[in-house]
Amino acid sequence: MGRAGAAAMIPGLALLWAVGVGGVAPSPPRLRLSFQELQAWHGLQTFSLERTCCYEALLVDEERGRLFVGAENHVASLSLDNISKQAKKLAWPAPVEWREECNWAGKDIGTECMNFVKLLHAYNHTHLLACGTGAFHPTCAFVEVGHRPEEPVLRLDPGRIEDGKGKSPYDPRHRAASVLVGEELYSGVAADLMGRDFTIFRSLGQRPSLRTEPHDSRWLNEPKFVKVFWIPESENPDDDKIYFFFRETAVEAAPAMGRLLVSRVGQICRNDVGGQRSLVNKWTTFLKARLVCSVPGVEGDTHFDQLQDVFLLSSRDHRTSLLYAVFSTSSSIFQGSAVCVYSMNDVRRAFLGPFAHKEGPMHQWVSYQGRVPYPRPETCATTHFTTPSKPLAPSVPPRTSPTMSSILRGTTPSCTTLSCPLGGGLFSYKLEPITPSLKLPRTGLQPLTDTMTSSSLAQTLARC
Ligand SMILES: *[C@@H]1O[C@H](CO)[C@@H](O)[C@H](O)[C@H]1NC(C)=O
Ligand SMILES: *[C@@H]1O[C@H](CO)[C@@H](O)[C@H](O)[C@H]1NC(C)=O
């Protein structure tokens, strides 16, 4: 990735918020916005760091009134009230030795051997956790941000630098997704230099780290991680689960069909402690199910197979929380995007259903009819209910494959049929001219062009 290319992709950051002007009739709902229109609009201000690209990590901190930004060799802290007021930046380059090593490994010193900050999480009352590629030497650090909104602080804590392997990707072109729960980080990332050892990894905290089986396509097959959420299920923290959203190449596709890209939701129990023998330090509760988003049309259904982003609309009763997911197509003939909604209830139900199973290499994938292990792997261990003391036989699911047989079909949200005002909150924008257009179902609306990211779109829709 050349600097010029990357810079062209994300020319700057813009922050937009609702200008709630009392007494003025609300303008008609908008579903199409170009960057020019945003620029012309009163509420838009932009921010960019000199000689820096790739504003990839964004963290809104409403308590402090700040937007934290991770970019190439930098972390910035911006005011949510006025993006150009009291902006602070922190230089966090990779050490010279790491850059030289990176260069010896054949990477470009000027573009790849930099520290691309990929991850920012609020760690505690005073610090953020930040992780970056560190010139193909992933690294994490704690950034002091203070606790008083009126006195913004932005300082790297030199006392505690962590290995960033399994947290940030090595390669600036790769994405990672993660969530911090307490002191533990759950991440979906490639954990090796070559970018082939994809893993769902738990790290930091006090417990031993856990991961998915390395280089086993049944667990993960060239995944692209999109989002991770921690979703409690009841008052009991033992029921808490972590949900991973990603897309991957399906192993269950018939060979005649060629490469089939699918979108997935994966789950693990927060209280998973790993298995025994060959499963030491591996998840025992990892399961995944397929997400499908298709929109009916006159000439048949249009399938949107590429999950791009997910927004969780939490409700007090976690069972009724909704997931707004943005999909695009991988087809070269038709390009478009759609928003599909899934209920957490349906997601849970899919994980309670039958497993997908294949008796042998020459067999078809079917729903597993045999005896299911007890307690089922999706049941998180509790004090009453412990994980199987006997390791599962390798011939039964989910040891054979952690994939569920049920397919989750999303509904297209009713609010995409309009009446969704833009505004009413804060939106952060990454300006990507190449964001695919949005094709909304059955309403004949204009596609959304260039600038809005899928994430902010999903948030917009979820607010109506
Ligand atoms: C934002 O802050 C800058 C610098 O302090 C100032 O020039 C500008 O007028 C402010 N804009 C708004 C809308 O308050
Ligand atoms: C937050 O975490 C950092 C890094 O571990 C530590 O230095 C700091 O003391 C912690 N602050 C609080 C308030 O716990």
Helix/strand/coil (H/E/C) assignment for every residue in 366-434: EECCCCCCCCCCCCCCCCCCCCCCCCCCCCCCCCCCCEEEEEEECECCHHHHCCCCCCCCEEEEECCCC
CA 181 from centre of chain:
15
Using alpha carbons only, how large is the chain's radius of gyration in Å? 22
d(CA 253, CA 54): 35
pLDDT for 236: 87
Nearest residue to 367 via CA among 392, 399, 409, 397: 397
Q: Are 239 and 232 in contact (CB under 8 A)?
A: yes
Q: How far apart are CA 462 and CA 166, in angstroms?
A: 31
Q: Which residues line ligand 2 (CB under 6 A)?
A: 123-127, 142, 157, 160
pLDDT score of 103: 97
CB 272 within 8 A of CB 210: yes
Q: Are 191 and 203 in contact (CB under 8 A)?
A: no
Cα of 81 from ligand 1 centre, angstroms: 9
Does residue 84 line the site of ligand 1, with CB under 6 A? Answer: yes
Report the candidate in 133, 120, 115 with the shortest Cα–Cα distance to residue 180. Answer: 120
Task: Say if residues 303 and 329 touch (Cβ distance below 8 Å).
Answer: yes
Tens digits of residue pLDDT in 297-356: 777 777 888 898 888 888 888 878 888 888 888 877 776 677 788 999 999 999 988 999
Taking the centre of ligand 2 as the mean of its atom positions, its distance from the CA of residue 126, in whole angstroms, is 6
Pocket test for ligand 1, best of 84, 86, 88 (most atoms within 8 A of CB): 84
Residue 35: the pLDDT is 58
pLDDT in tens, 144-190: 998 887 788 999 998 889 999 999 999 999 989 999 999 999 999 99
Tokens of 122: 């609020």
Q: Look at residue 36 in the predicted model and tell me its pLDDT.
A: 63
Atom number, ligand 2, closest to the C-alpha of residue 127: 1
Q: How many Cβ atoms sit within 10 Å of the Cβ of residue 395?
A: 10
Question: Is residue 19 in contact with ligand 1, taking CB distance under 6 Å?
Answer: no
Blockwise average pLDDT, block size 10, the chain, 464 residues: 34 35 40 57 67 84 86 91 82 96 95 96 95 97 89 89 95 94 96 93 94 92 95 88 95 76 95 86 93 81 84 82 83 74 93 87 83 73 53 73 90 45 28 30 27 44 42
Q: Give the domains, in start order, of the chain with CATH numbers.
A: 3-7+53-463 (2.130.10.10)
Calculated CA dihedral for residues 303, 306, 308, 314, nearest 10 degrees: 60
Q: State how far the Cα of 105 lies from the Cα of 2, in Å rounded to an integer.
A: 18
Dist CA 89 CA 68 (whole Å)? 10
**CB 72 within 8 Å of CB 93:** no
